Copies of this chain bind each other. A is one copy, B any other.
Amino acid sequence: MTQAADHPQAQAGEMVIVKVGGSAGIDYDAVCADIAALWKAGQRLILVHGGSGETNRVAEALGHPPKFVTSPSGYTSRFTDRQTLEIFEMVYCGKVNKGIVERLQRLGVNAVGLSGLDGRIFEGRHKDSVRAVENGKVKVLRGDHTGTVEKVNTELIELLLNAGYLPVLTPPAASYEGVAINVDGDRAAAALAVALKADALLLLSNVPGLLRNFPDESSLIASIPANDVESYLEFAQDRMKKKVLGAAEAVQGGVRRVVFGDARAGLPVSAALGGAGTVVS
């Protein structure tokens, strides 16, 4: 176990949180096969997933196209009115979550899929309004179902883990009043990693890691010092910004290692555990 500090390979007994995004190109079959092999070898882990790309497709097909807003500080997020929330739940909690649970069950892993609403696994404040920049002006939009994870029900997760179940978690979260709120999956995974004192947090998406010159994949930033994560925000585009923010929150919360890895092929989880991608430590 003394090797763990200098060799970025997780050891059996360590807890790893894997977050896999919902963008085009992500290979869920490869992710699940890798997770099943690691799980059977004794790795303790929890999977958190997204579903953004598929939510956009289903929302278009149902005649309620997605709406994204950009905050004055440059973060992009989905505007989640009630109808969007229901479509979001259909895709994240229905199609994507049960598709992953089914893949893992077929591979002999007894997975249990839950949203943050279930047992209030993810809990936070409901933000009903959002400040958005439109045509250079800041507007306030109301009727949003959004928020940030502030509390994690670690008891329920540990109950499942200790009974041999692999938790597969997804937004939405529950507000303190019990209302469903859309929360960022990367930051939810970071909050989970902090709450469980996880050894590693892997944020897997459809790029090789944080790129100095996006989208030039040869400009991969191989490592980021834990005490200086936020200064790398300038290299992050769009959705990568929340990953960098999540990484900063995780390492500030005591998680020893965060890796931005590639979920498009191969053994995405093992590769990230082995240090492929951008390692924050």
Q: A105-B120, A105-B178 are in contact. List 14 more A-B contacts (CB 8 A).
A: A90-B91, A91-B94, A92-B94, A101-B117, A101-B118, A105-B174, A108-B178, A110-B120, A111-B118, A112-B114, A112-B156, A113-B118, A156-B163, A159-B163
Number of copies: 2
A93→B97 contact, CB < 8 A:
yes
A163 / chain B contacts, CB cutoff of 8 Å? 155-156, 159
Contacting B at CB under 8 A, from A200-254, are none
The docked-state distance in angstroms from the alpha carbon of A217 to that of B174 is 40
Main secondary structure of the interface of A (DSSP, over half): helix
Chain A contact residues, CB within 8 Å of chain B: 58, 61-63, 86, 89-95, 97-99, 101-102, 104-108, 110-115, 117-120, 155-156, 159, 163, 165, 172, 174, 177-180
Q: Which chain B residues border A165 with CB–CB below 8 Å? A: 119, 156
Most buried by B among A118, A156, A180: A118
In the assembled complex, the Cα of A93 lies from the Cα of B61 at a distance in Å of: 19
**Distance of A93 Cα from B95 Cα, bound (Å):** 8
Q: Using Cβ atoms and an 8 Å threshold, which residues of chain B touch A113?
A: 93, 114-115, 117-118
